[in-house]
Amino acid sequence: MSQAREIKDYISLQIGKAIESETPLLESGLLDSIAIVELLIFIEERYDVRLSAEDINHVEFGNVLSICRLIARKTLEPQNALG
């Protein structure tokens, strides 16, 4: 299963309705603060990356595709490679 599909399925399960990869997440209000924290934990544990408070914004968490790009960037950062 692709990363985008996993994240999309996770969010859909959390909010109780299907979304698309480009569905706005924060601007639409689909994710409340608790859902954001749960998604953050899911991403960190599933993809072994560390996200900061600065990463949680309308650009990085705008939709599933932008989250995938964020994960790709964080995976390449040296501190994540060292574990």
The pTM of this model reads: 0.88
pLDDT score, position 26: 92
Give the helix/strand (H/E) hosting 67.
helix 64-76
pLDDT score, position 76: 84
Residue-by-residue pLDDT tens, the chain, 83 positions: 799 999 999 999 999 999 999 999 999 999 999 999 999 999 999 999 999 999 999 999 999 999 999 999 998 876 554 45
pLDDT score, position 79: 59
pLDDT score, position 1: 79
Max distance between CA atoms of the chain, in angstroms, equals 37
Helix, strand or coil, per DSSP, at residue 60: coil
